[in-house]
A and B are shown apart, each in its own frame.
Chain A
Amino acid sequence: MGKYKLLIRSAIKKQKSTLIGIFLLVFMLSLCLFSALTVYMSGTKSVREEMERLGFGNFTVWVSGQPENLSETVSALRDVDHVTEQPLIFTGYAIKGSYSDNEGQLLTLDGTVPYQFIDKDGNRLESVEIKSGEVYVSPAMRSSYDVSVGDTVTFELSRRDGIRELTVAGYFEDAFMGSSMIDMKSFLISSDDWNEMRSVIDTAAHVDVLGRSGAMLHIFQSGDSALSVQEFQKELNESSDIALYTEFSYRQESIQSYMVLLQNILAGFLIAFSVVLLMICLIVIGHNLSVVVEQEKQEMAVLKSMGMEGREIRGTYLFLYGGVVFFGLVGGLFPALLAANSLAGAMVTSTGMLIRLYFPITLILPLLMVLLGVFAVYITLRTGKILRIAPVQTMRETGGERKVKSHLRGRFLAFDIAVREIRSGRRRYAAVCLISVFLALFLSVIGKMGTWLGPNGEGLMNTFSVADHDLGVQPFNDTVPMDEIERIINWYSPVRETYELAMQNVTVNGQQYTANVLDDTKWFHVLSGEVCDENSILITDTVANELSLSVGDPVRLTSGGKTETYTVSGTYQCANGMGTNIGMSLAGYAKIGDVSGYIWCHHYILENGGVRDYAMKYLQEHYRGIDVHTNSWSGLDGIVSAMHILIALIYLIAAVFILIAVWLAANKLMQAETEKMAIYKSMGLSHLRLRISFALRFFLVVLLGTAAGIMVSEVFADSVISKIVQSFGIGEFHSGFSILGTLVPLTVLPLLFFGFAYFFSSKLKRVSIIKLISNSEE
């Protein structure tokens, strides 16, 4: 035992900085991976528990104009266990004078729904009594509307004496509409205000009324029901009149997906990045072990000549490096919890919920074991060379150098020396090159997504909207002067193209979807097949998967009691509602629905799209009875800022990783080359040129690695990202050339490596030429 102690103590002394560096790398890997996993697992669990606590059923259906006995009718169905009804008011609103382009839903505490409240600092409040004149909103509105306590929210219930102003008193957690991914927002108000507002709607004249009364029906499937989720939904729609009154409906799973979508994207990327970090850790450990074994060859040979076995020497390295990895992984666990807490706190304005963090021990412990196993096997493999060291080891002074030919020019001496060093000692730089390949690949993919998303989320706007447009105006009654509105829009910018869109609820083979109806079908983004006509429809990839449909298949569509059969003419791109929608022509929809009502939204494509926000604001402020929107939605800002935070975070982690990796690699190189550096100095090469040449080696190797990583990304990134984003209803992803995905990694990575290598090479200043003499007798 004593000999091991002695060996380990001596190795720790000799390799202190290497071991510290590896500890830091593994610590960061652990921090990144386990914090992402904690957020991911806690978020999903938290939303599920909150939905259960708030009484969301297997299905939640938002209805308006429903008969009083609708709940009873649905409850009576064979596969339904029970239905709870939560009354609400749909109404337009404005915050701090800015009109929302979507309706909000007004809820009140009726004693059965135990909402959770959050104060302005993000702390949970035990209980809150909502006073008259107060309103509680989702914290997600802080990111989408910059709402803070004390702001005014104006609700438009009726044109005549129907405007109500309430003051924001705090925030509450809404397990569905709380997320910034959801356009419609909930407002929690006192029961006095709610009743008063409801009476405004009920008593207002038909031409004046702007708000609508409705309800959320939480439908619970009975325990002995054998129906699948789709079959259950079909059963509801076909066996009751619920579809006639449905505004929209969501399965519990869909609601969960919406709520945790943003944080899952963030956690997903961090987990993927952790895999890259794991690869880097393995590369760095492998490289260091190779160098150490090479450097310690003679000592190991002496140990063997003294009777120590190769496997015993290897065991000490496994114990030492394995120990460092163990402490790094375990050391990262507790800070991971703190980091997860910060991440969850930072996400509250996007998710609208303060996630209750729990430590997913059942996932993390086995994962920890697996990671330790991977590292142990890897260390064992990389130290195999120790077994082959002969007891009498002779090494040539210059062994390991390869003969290569490259220029040596006076003017570019630092560069030429760097090239020579790289070419003659390729294996020494393989690790740095591989690290840069992995980092470049990942950063390029992230960059491509960032570019596709665009500075204002244009990428998402286009994939989520039915068809391209700058402005959309939907009149709700015949008093709206559309001619005048169009003149105003033209004043802001000439209108290049215009078409009309209606979004109507239909059931397709019994499943409820939104039908996007266009008067001009050329605007659909068709991905495969043909554009639809009066006898056919377009479906998204999501619908195709859900209903197992292909181009050419017949489908049965129902709306308002009428049913028709159509053919699937093709697939199209529209991620709205996570892709749960279909595309129809006006003539096609006219077969089952009423096309004469105020269902049409006039879409305008402007010559100068930059003025759309000004035009929208003007129209919202000066006209009532219309819905004006741009090709955007309130949650987009949240996604864009989350993506930007993610990119910044990943670059930051990458920079720290590069710093440590360069520190380790540069130290090892300088250790091995002290004599060479002293020779150059003795010939009169200044330490500044030596440092530049040293840093240039990293720059050149990383440039090569980064270029390779980016090339791999160019070939595979689009198809990989397409697969990822398909789960969000986005059918296609094309990035093309991107500054963030190509030029930024190509410049930032080599420069970071160069900068850090230059920084760490300051040691060269202290390399003394006397080193060359120390080998002589004196």
Chain B
Amino acid sequence: MSSRFLCGKNIIKKFGDTEVLHGINVDIKEGAFTVVMGSSGSGKSTLLYLLSGMDKPSGGEIFYQETKISGAAEKELTHLRASQFGFVFQRTHLIGNLTVSENIKMAGLIGGLSEKECELRTAELIQKMNLEKVEAHLPSEVSGGEAQRTAVARAVINRPDLIFADEPTGALNRANSTEVLNLLTMLNKNGQTVLLVTHDRESALRGNRILYLDDGRMTGELSLSDYDGRDAEREEKLTGWLEGLGW
């Protein structure tokens, strides 16, 4: 839990002449449920894409398990995405002409799992994510919550080292949001490292380490105990901390 896992040193990101991240230093620990919070336009999603290698920083360096991934070749990044990173987006971004189970299986096949292993793992995840009833449905035929649970299953089929989640509950109602957050929490309890970007306090409560980003600068960090159901003391601590940051 304490070893250096994913870290960024002095990360700068510019869009044209506009600098949106101003030399951020960040360290994501293995096994942690890290949440990056911030208001809209603070640069939190930009940071997530830089850390996951989806985008290239304008300055600074990013290391994953001591390997520099900022500036790595597309082939290496593709390999990372296929086997070591999993992504959950705000909009589910499922493949429209694949069924729920095929969407999950596809990620396994791309990640290099054998067909048999893929079948077994897909079946296991469908059960775990409570998707049995809709496994043969197309994404257009399932609810938002089911689609997002499918997206989570897809993200974890290859047992990635790290899940990047970008506002995964942003488009869901409260019940579905809770379901998805429960899933991420459960995965983290089983040792899965999660990096979640959100501007929602309820989602942030699931993390055990909260980073606060304001106008492209890291302005706060809070450590919490592991989430174990509603805990008034934890909630108070987070609320107080956020209020202190002007939230």
By beta carbon, the residue of chain A nearest B84 is A684
Q: Is the CB of A770 within 8 A of B55?
A: yes
- How many chain A residues touch B (Cβ–Cβ < 8 Å)? 37
Report if B219 contacts A (CB, 8 A). Answer: no
A775 touches B40 (CB 8 A): no
Query: In the complex the two chains form, what is the Cα distance from A278 to B228 in whole Å?
Result: 70
CB distance from A336 to the nearest CB of B (A): 44
* Interchain CB contact under 8 A, B140 and A397: yes
Residue contact B107 to A683, C-beta cutoff 8 Å: yes
Evaluate whether A401 and B54 lie within 8 angstroms (CB atoms) in the complex, with A420-B98, A679-B93 already known. Answer: no
**CB-nearest residue of chain B to A409:** B115
Structural contact, B98 and A773, CB atoms closer than 8 A: no
- Measured between beta carbons, the chain B residues less than 8 angstroms from A314 are none
A682-B87, A777-B170 as given contacts; A768 in contact with B75, CB under 8 Å: no
Q: Would you call A76 an interface residue if the criterion is a C-beta within 8 Å of the partner chain's C-beta atoms?
A: no
Residue of B nearest to A679 (CB): B93
Secondary structure dominating the interface of A: loop
Among B78, B105, B118, the residue within 8 A (CB) of A684 is B78
* A402 within 8 A of partner (CB): yes
Q: In the complex, are the beta carbons of A776 and B170 less than 8 A apart?
A: yes
* Residues 103-135 of chain B, each 1 if its beta carbon lies under 8 Å from chain A, else 0: 001110111111100100000000000000000
Q: Which of B40, B81, B106, B154 contacts A681 (CB 8 A)?
A: B81
Q: Contact at B138–A401, with CB atoms within 8 Å?
A: yes
Query: What's the minimum C-beta distance from B106 to chain A, rounded to whole angstroms?
Result: 6
| Chain B positions 178 through 214: 1 when the CB is less than 8 Å from some CB of chain A, otherwise 0 | 0000000000000000000001000000000000000
State whether the Cβ of B149 lies closer than 8 Å to any Cβ in chain A. no
User: Known contacts A773-B45, A778-B46: does B106 contact A408 (CB below 8 Å)?
Assistant: yes
Q: Are B78 and A686 in contact (CB under 8 A)?
A: yes
Residue of A nearest to B139 (CB): A398
Contacts of B199 in A (CB 8 A): 777
Which of chain A's residues have a CB closer than 8 A to the CB of B61? none
A421 within 8 A of B: yes
Q: Complex formed: what's the CA distance from A424 to B98 in Å? A: 9
> Which of B49, B80, B118, B140 is within 8 Å of A398, CB to CB?
B140
A363, B20: Cα distance in complex, Å: 66
- Is A403 among interface residues, defined by CB-CB distance under 8 A? yes
User: Once the chains bind, are B54 and A679 in contact (CB under 8 Å)?
Assistant: no
Minimum C-beta distance from B130 to chain A (A): 22
**Residues of B with C-beta under 8 A to A683:** 81-82, 87, 106-107, 110-111, 154
Does A399 interact with chain B (Cβ within 8 Å)? yes
Q: Does A676 lie at the interface of the complex (its beta carbon under 8 Å from any beta carbon of B)?
A: yes
Q: Does B19 contact A (CB under 8 A)?
A: no
Residue A715 CB within 8 A of the other chain: no
**B102 lies within 8 A of A684 (CB):** no
Contacts of A684 in B (CB 8 A): 78-83, 107, 110-111
**A776-B115 contact, Cβ under 8 Å, with A397-B96, A770-B54:** no
User: In the complex, which of the residues B78, B110, B167 contacts A413, with contact meaning CB atoms closer than 8 Å?
Assistant: B110
Q: Mark A414-440, 1 if CB is under 8 A from B, else 0.
A: 000000110011000000000000000
CA distance A773 to B91 in the complex (A): 8
Residue from B45, B83, B154 whose CB has the most chain A CB atoms within 10 Å: B45
Chain B residues whose CB sits within 8 angstroms of the CB of A603 once the complex forms: none
Q: What's the least CB distance linking B98 to chain A, in Å?
A: 7
Whole-angstrom distance between the Cβ of B163 and the nearest chain A Cβ: 12
A163 partner residues in chain B, CB cutoff 8 A: none
Is B54 within 8 A of A769, CB to CB?
yes
Indicate whether A396 reaches chain B with its CB closer than 8 angstroms: yes
Closest CB-CB distance, B122 to chain A, in whole Å?
11
Q: Determine if B97 is an interface residue (Cβ-Cβ < 8 Å).
A: yes
B89 within 8 A of partner (CB):
yes
Q: Which residue of A396, A425, A685 contacts B110 across the interface (Cβ within 8 Å)?
A: A685
Q: Is A67 an interface residue (CB 8 A)?
A: no
Given known contacts A401-B138, A773-B166, is B115 in contact with A410 (CB within 8 Å)? Answer: yes
Complex contacts, B44 vs chain A, CB 8 Å:
778
Min CB gap A622→B, angstroms:
74
**B77 to A: closest C-beta gap in Å:** 9
Question: Is B87's CB under 8 angstroms from A410's CB?
Answer: no
Tell me the smallest distance from the CB of A643 to a CB of chain B, in Å.
46
A773 touches B89 (CB 8 A): yes
Q: How far, in angstroms, from A396 to B199 measured CA to CA in the complex?
A: 27
Assembled-state Cα–Cα distance A399/B140 (Å): 7
Q: Which residue of A lies closest to B140 (CB)?
A: A398
B71 at interface, CB cutoff 8 A: no
CA distance A135 to B114 in the complex (A): 82
B102 / chain A contacts, CB cutoff of 8 Å: 408
Q: Please give, as numbers and ranges, the residues of chain A lying within 8 Å of B87 by CB-CB distance.
A: 682-683
CA A546 to CA B113, docked complex, whole Å:
76
- A536 vs chain B, min Cβ distance (A): 71
A778 touches B40 (CB 8 A): yes
Asked if A403 meets B99 with Cβ closer than 8 Å, knowing A398-B138, A410-B113, A778-B41, the reply is yes
CA distance A421 to B99 in the complex (A): 13
Say whether A680 faces chain B, with CB atoms less than 8 Å apart: yes
- A399: B residues at CB distance < 8 A: 140
Nearest-Cβ distance from residue A680 to partner chain B, whole angstroms: 7
List, in ascending order, chain A residues with CB within 8 A of B91's CB. 397, 772, 775-776
Known A-B contacts A682-B54, A776-B170; the reply to A404 vs B97 at CB < 8 A is: yes
State the CA gap A401–B99 with chains docked (Å): 11
Task: Give the residues in chain B near A777, CB-CB below 8 Å.
Answer: 40, 45, 90, 167, 170, 199
Q: Which of A424, A425, A684, A776 has the most CB of B within 10 A?
A: A684
Q: Chain A: which residue is nearest B106 at the CB level?
A: A408
| A398 and B154 form a contact (CB under 8 A) | no
Judge if B95 is at the interface, Cβ distance under 8 Å. Answer: yes
Residue interface bits B138-178, CB-to-A below 8 A is 1, else 0:
11100000000000001000000000001100100000000
Q: Across the interface, which residues of A come within 8 angstroms of B41, CB to CB?
A: 778
Q: Given A401-B97, A420-B97, A679-B95, check contact A408 B140 (CB 8 Å).
A: no
B46 to chain A, nearest CB (A): 7
Nearest CB in chain B: distance from A401 CB, A: 4
Report the minimal beta-carbon distance from B83 to chain A, rounded to whole angstroms.
7
Q: How far is the CA of A408 from the CA of B102 in the complex (A)?
A: 8
Q: Which residues of A contact B46 (CB under 8 A)?
A: 778
Q: Which residues on A sit within 8 Å (CB–CB) of B99? A: 403
Task: Give the residues in chain A near B170, CB-CB below 8 Å.
Answer: 776-777
CA distance A402 to B113 in the complex (A): 27
Distance of B131 from chain A, by nearest CB (Å): 16
* B49 and chain A: residue at smallest CB distance: A770
Contact B109 A408 (CB under 8 A): yes
Contacts of B27 in A (CB 8 A): none
| A675 close to chain B: CB less than 8 A | yes
Measured CA separation A402–B99 after assembly (Å)? 10
**Which residues of chain A in 650-688 are interfacial with respect to chain B, using CB atoms and an 8 Å cutoff?**
675-676, 678-687
B contact residues around A403 at 8 Å (CB): 97, 99, 138
By a CB distance below 8 angstroms, the chain B residues around A776 are 45, 89-91, 166-167, 170
* Least CB separation from A411: chain B residue: B115
In angstroms, Cα B99 to Cα A769, docked, is: 22
Task: Please tell me if B74 contacts chain A, counting CB pairs below 8 Å.
Answer: yes
Q: Which residues of chain B are within 8 angstroms of A768 by Cβ–Cβ distance?
A: 54-55
Could you tell me the distance between the alpha carbons of A362 and B95 in the complex, rounded to whole angstroms?
A: 56
Q: In the bound complex, what is the Cα–Cα distance between A728 and B49 (angstroms)? A: 72
Tell me the B51-94 residues at the A interface (CB within 8 Å): 54-55, 74-75, 78-83, 87, 89-91, 93-94
Contact B93–A772 (Cβ < 8 Å): yes
Instruction: Please name 18 further chain A to chain B contacts, defined as beta carbons within 8 Å, in addition to the given A685-B110, A769-B54, A770-B55, sorted by A numbering.
Output: A397-B96, A398-B97, A403-B97, A404-B97, A408-B102, A409-B109, A420-B97, A675-B93, A679-B94, A682-B54, A684-B107, A772-B93, A773-B89, A775-B90, A776-B45, A776-B90, A777-B170, A778-B41
* Chain A residues within 8 Å of B, Cβ to Cβ: 396-399, 401-404, 408-410, 413, 420-421, 424-425, 675-676, 678-687, 768-770, 772-773, 775-778
| A to B CB contacts below 8 Å, 14 in the list | A398-B97, A398-B138, A408-B106, A410-B112, A410-B113, A410-B118, A424-B97, A676-B96, A683-B107, A684-B82, A770-B55, A773-B45, A776-B167, A777-B199
